[in-house]
A and B are shown apart, each in its own frame.
Chain A
């Protein structure tokens, strides 16, 4: 039985990180050049880590599946990035940011890690500013902030609605500098297809060149995964359509434990599905609910246009069910209520999977100009996508999968259970517990990449300085490559009738219906059966044209979907194991009489880290008990 050691340093919370940095082992500059590190992914964490490690003098190989590192999905983050600068003098501090994250995560995250994330947040803002990221400013020339979801201070730095893009381009620029200096070698359009272990340590990867199909071996002294979340398991989500969990999943199957996979955040206000071929749900800022009223028709099968439905035939269901908060109930509550109405058959639009978000009354009251000033951009974007003018007709919205709090288990040093394999950014589980607060994903990804990993990885590499350059001719590479090719051939040789995407879509529906916003034991058990059936059908009836030794986008998709079938089972298994409702994980059986999440701290104050036991064998769960020394556990309430 593996014992999970979180390696949290001793001492008071506020001094753990300082103390750690002061006592950790170092690698001398001459040795750094000889040590190779592979970084998979070029988002804020990946590009951040690759450039910081390059600056230190390590030989870094950076991989991404996109044609350029600048396109990693961090680019799409809108709202902002948190930091405990207290520029507003509104009482913010590192401790408060830490506290908000712990509370927001519903007491399912590790204190030491979260405090550190809050601590480095200030350095992240300094660094991005120095890199030329144009954050919003005040007239006096200082940086501006705004407040964001569920906190009482204004600590979110932003660049209009494109903060992720601006931060990512900052990270991309620092990465470019290291590429120019020769410290980082960039491998775009590569997909990691497996991890290579030598004597139990992560020593390299097998990658496929997506342009030529060539299978490549890359060796290194350590491997860093910065591959993002698995939100596309729902098929449609706010994620990029090619985002995937395959690298993390391959690492998991090689021995990296997967923690809290069922913690998935669903965002309530997204552009809904408009047709059966839709591939993507675009996020619309949550702020719209400040002035928009959410409603559905009172009668099923209503065929009048929204504007022709009189007041008495409208059901403002959020205002009806939650008279105190109305349209401003928290994300998870709004999402669940929306789903409930649509499932009951009251949804609007062609698919019936949408509700109205109506600005008619606000426009009447405040004037069109006032609404335009607040939401002009968003209305424009909505109109571009849907063709509906929100000034004239209600918007249609529906919740969508957004962020995965779960991920590879890591210790304080961000190392997984495989020595030499690190996980940073969204791909790890560490900082958000059961629910992530707005504007903290950019913060965590950047902190992990730029400021944490480049310190902690030394502790491992200091013992590796005597290991010479690792040869890719070793039998371990040989075997892993063979297995990779076998699997690719297997996918191609099925020659069935259904495309990878159509399976993905069906898998997504199962996950959405039974393991989305609302879960219950019966549904989850049913989901397990359905997933297994569909998986069996997939391996029997998939069609992938072409070969693996050429550009083959269908093959890429098929590989990712195949991995999702396996991850889906684990996700459901984890949801089934956690007999409580906490954060984004809502089990119908566990709720207060007024429908709020009901935690079970006595039994479930732990991280569920799952070990892969082999094909067809049940997963083994390892518990990392969470100890709260600083924070007292309370019922999360925003009322």
Chain B
């Protein structure tokens, strides 16, 4: 396959970036998207040029490292997958592919396609935990939880923290991310004890780091590689009102 890549290149956080065009020959449809970029980088490095910087690690859709904005979609046009699971089969001979970093004020570009997602960690540090010391836990089966609740908590807990929700949202809102964590703990009896403090602290931090406001347009849900549901956001809202 022959392809044209238009990749955002930016030397560092302060530099001005621009799109650079790369002509790719011999792209195999069996390649994963990131492997296609690996092959580009191999060529660049062999020419002693600066390779395209992007985050990636597990390459099996679970660590949440990878994330690029491809042709108008976070993680590319195929729903419910991460960039590392995107295959070149989904592209056609002669396609032009735009590759951009996540764009949001709280996710500043570090280099090329790498953005700083520390804002997510800050929100989790503010309250995304249950305060229990090692050794202080009660016998596991002394906490009974309805299976349905536990399964729902799991469905919220599978968020990988990639930031696609923020990238997709026209307002760069982090509500889906925050609501997933809030929901997981709100649904479990262990998490109820400090539910009020948690939701206050996390929402406050979310606002402080500069994410936009949710306008219920649902782009986050449509693009989430783990298919986290909008119902989580409604639950976050409820939890927030309950806290006051």
Contact = CB atoms under 8 A, between A and B. Distances in A.
A and B touch in the complex (CB under 8 A): yes
Contact of B139 (A126, A240, A385, A551): A126
Interface stretch (A9-17, A173-181, A621-629): A173-181
B51 A545 contact: yes
Interface residues of A, number: 84
B141 A143 contact: yes
B96 interface: no
A232 to B, nearest CB: 11
A73 B48 CA distance: 31
Contact of A176 (B64, B87, B128, B160): B128
A139 interface: yes
Contact of B65 (A71, A126, A133): A71
Nearest to B37: A277
A188 B48 CA distance: 28
Interface stretch (A161-169, A316-324, A331-339): A161-169
A123 B144 CA distance: 17
Interface stretch (B164-172, B184-192, B213-221, B234-242): B184-192
A598 B30 CA distance: 41
B128 A173 contact: yes
Interface in A96-155: 123, 125-127, 129-143
B116 A67 contact: yes
B3 interface: no
Nearest to A133: B157
A62 interface: no
Nearest to A78: B62
B209 interface: no
Contact of A141 (B48, B136, B145): B145
Contact of B39 (A129, A277, A451, A497): A277
B53 A553 contact: yes
A51 B134 contact: yes
Interface string A68-94: 111101011000000001010000000
A497 B43 CA distance: 11
Contacts of A545: 44-45, 48-51
Contacts of B110: 211, 551
Interface in A228-266: 238, 240-242
B59 to A, nearest CB: 4
A337 B62 CA distance: 30
A126 B138 contact: yes
B8 interface: no
Contacts of A606: none
A545 B49 CA distance: 6
**Chain B interface mostly helix, strand, loop or mixed?**
loop
B4 interface: no
Contacts of B38: 277, 279, 501
A180 B124 CA distance: 10
B240 to A, nearest CB: 19
A141 B130 contact: no
Contacts of B56: 241-242
B145 A137 contact: yes
A132 B59 contact: no
B97 interface: no
A179 B125 contact: yes
Interface in B117-144: 117-118, 120-121, 124-141, 143-144
Contact of A387 (B89, B136, B185): B89
Interface in B46-97: 46, 48-51, 53, 55-60, 62-65, 81, 84-85, 87, 89
Given A166-B154, A277-B35, A280-B59, A176 B30 contact: no
B185 A132 contact: yes
A85 B147 CA distance: 20
Contacts of B48: 495, 543, 545
Contacts of A45: none
Given A127-B137, A279-B34, A384-B85, A66 B147 contact: no
A52 B49 CA distance: 45
Interface in B177-211: 184-185, 188, 190-191
A350 interface: yes
Contacts, number: 230
A457 to B, nearest CB: 13
A274 B85 CA distance: 13
A554 interface: yes
B158 interface: yes
A131 B194 CA distance: 12
Contact of B124 (A126, A137, A172, A554): A172
A159 interface: yes
A524 B111 CA distance: 43
Contacts of B138: 126, 130
A597 B211 CA distance: 59
A463 B12 CA distance: 46
A134 B188 contact: yes
B230 to A, nearest CB: 20
B55 A67 contact: yes
Contact of A275 (B31, B57, B190): B31
B52 to A, nearest CB: 10
Contacts of B231: none
Contacts of B28: 275, 277
B45 A130 contact: no
Contact of B30 (A129, A138, A350): A350
A143 B135 contact: no
A501 B65 contact: no
A384 B130 contact: no
A454 interface: yes
A499 interface: yes
Interface in A482-518: 495, 497-499, 501-502
Contacts of A240: 57-59, 63
A137 B85 contact: no
Contact of B153 (A134, A165, A173, A186): A134
B42 interface: yes
A542 to B, nearest CB: 10
A551 B53 contact: yes
Given A127-B132, A499-B42, A543-B45, A132 B146 contact: no
A573 interface: no
B154 A177 contact: no
A227 interface: no
Contact of A123 (B128, B135, B153, B188): B135
B212 interface: no
Given A140-B144, A497-B46, A501-B42, A129 B137 contact: yes
A116 B184 CA distance: 32
Interface of A: 48, 51-52, 55, 66-71, 73, 75-76, 85, 87, 123, 125-127, 129-143, 159-160, 162, 164-166, 169, 172-174, 176-177, 179-180, 186, 188, 211, 238, 240-242, 274-275, 277-280, 282-283, 350, 384-385, 387, 450-451, 454, 495, 497-499, 501-502, 543-546, 550-551, 553-554
Given A68-B121, A132-B153, A502-B42, 19 more contacts: A70-B124, A85-B140, A129-B190, A131-B132, A137-B145, A138-B147, A159-B154, A165-B160, A169-B157, A176-B121, A282-B59, A385-B87, A497-B46, A501-B42, A545-B44, A545-B45, A545-B49, A551-B12, A551-B114
17 contacts: A68-B118, A73-B63, A127-B137, A129-B137, A130-B137, A131-B129, A132-B191, A166-B157, A174-B134, A176-B125, A274-B31, A277-B36, A277-B39, A278-B31, A280-B59, A543-B48, A545-B51
